[in-house]
Amino acid sequence: MSTGKPVVGSPRVSIIVPARNEDASLGACLESLVAQTGAPFEIIVVDDHSTDRTREIAASFPQVRVIEAGPLPAGWTGKNNAVVAGAREAHGGWLLFTDADTVHLPGSLARALTEAQEHHADLLSYSPEQIAVTFWEMATLPVVFAELARQYPPSKVSDPNSLEAAANGQYILVKRETYDAIGGHAAVADKILEDVALARAFKSAGRTIRFRYAADAVRTRMYRNFRQLREGWTKNLALLFPNPGWLACKSIALWSSLWMVIALVRILGLTAWLDGVDVAVFAYLCERLRHSNFRPDGLINGALFGMPMFTYLLLRSKRMHGKGSVCWKGRTYGGNESSVKQSADSNLISAGKYS
């Protein structure tokens, strides 16, 4: 019976937390992890060349082992280098890769392990509940996650007979032996979108994936201001969607349709129809966002303001990847996902999901 504390020498799960300048969120993450019960575990925080209090915060938890990511190999992304360093030091038969901006609900680790075993999953990934605080978070995230659910339907991702593969790097639980057999994160070392690449490697090897929305297990606040949100989605969106330009045009056209219908009805003097028509169009836009798993106020914000923002982020991501100058956390990544250099702009080293 687990005491909820890491069991040195015989952990069932090794929890690996890559962290690069995460002092705004790491403490809450580790508090939620050390409190887990129901399965023996160890926690490894990999300090990826942080310049803030990240290492100090991690070291303040006696149950946590803190290691260095080590030099960044040519062509590797920072996150892949960090998680590989953590996996190298791990002793568990299962590995949980989770981001420093996550908070884990009580008992979620043991439940996830049981779920993976019951579904014979070699890789279990949760899409966390997204916490939105600022206006742009509340407007943009429902649109992004609705489109992600449309692009990567969890039912298809979890279907062994479907070629669809995806995972969310904020929570990936894998069997150690399977992870090693496919080459782990080292096999996708140059990929900015390492979570989806890892899931594809698992499925290509005939391994089973289980992927679902999991507000019952984990939550996260990915970005804490507009700049982080813009840079984070600029890094990811063009890689998440196969035709970002077309999706941008489609999104802005759908959003514009609401205002075009309202304008047309007014121009034609059909004011008696106005309320019914604009409500119907608005309801349709909200319905498109339903699978984002946000509350009704999030759907309303997304329909009114988030769709043009999503369009802007898609086009910005497409352009920056095309230029080979995607900046995140003090590093610049080339458009081919393999060119990495340190950025002189230290302001880009900030909290949130990173590569």
Regarding whether 171 and 58 lie in a shared domain, the answer is yes
Regarding whether 64 and 25 lie in a shared domain, the answer is yes
Give the C-alpha separation, 145 to 241, whole Å.
12
pTM: 0.88
Per-residue pLDDT of the chain (355 residues; tens, 9 = 90+): 334 444 444 579 999 999 999 999 999 999 999 999 999 999 999 999 999 999 999 999 999 999 999 999 999 999 999 999 999 999 999 999 999 999 999 999 999 999 999 999 999 999 999 999 999 999 999 999 999 999 999 999 999 999 999 999 999 999 999 999 999 999 999 999 999 999 999 999 999 999 999 999 999 999 989 999 999 999 999 999 999 999 999 999 999 988 887 777 767 666 555 556 677 888 888 999 999 999 999 999 999 999 999 999 999 999 999 988 888 777 877 654 444 444 333 333 333 344 4
Sign of CA dihedral 128, 133, 134, 139: positive
Give the C-alpha separation, 231 to 223, whole Å.
10
Give the C-alpha separation, 140 to 83, whole Å.
29
CATH number at residue 116: 3.90.550.10
Regarding whether 340 and 290 lie in a shared domain, the answer is yes
Q: What is the token pair recorded at 262?
A: 């309202």
Q: What is the token pair recorded at 346?
A: 């230290």
Contact 22, 351 (CB under 8 A): yes
Regarding whether 241 and 214 lie in a shared domain, the answer is no
Regarding whether 327 and 266 lie in a shared domain, the answer is yes
Regarding whether 320 and 183 lie in a shared domain, the answer is no
Q: What is the token pair recorded at 249?
A: 């045009």
Regarding whether 330 and 250 lie in a shared domain, the answer is yes
Regarding whether 309 and 184 lie in a shared domain, the answer is no
Residue 236 CB neighbour total at 10 angstroms: 23
- Structurally, the chain folds into a number of domains equal to 2
Regarding whether 206 and 68 lie in a shared domain, the answer is yes
Q: What is the token pair recorded at 42?
A: 């160890």
For residue 289, the enclosing domain spans 236-348
Give the C-alpha separation, 68 to 275, whole Å.
60
Give the C-alpha separation, 27 to 179, whole Å.
28
Report if residue 254 sits inside a domain. yes
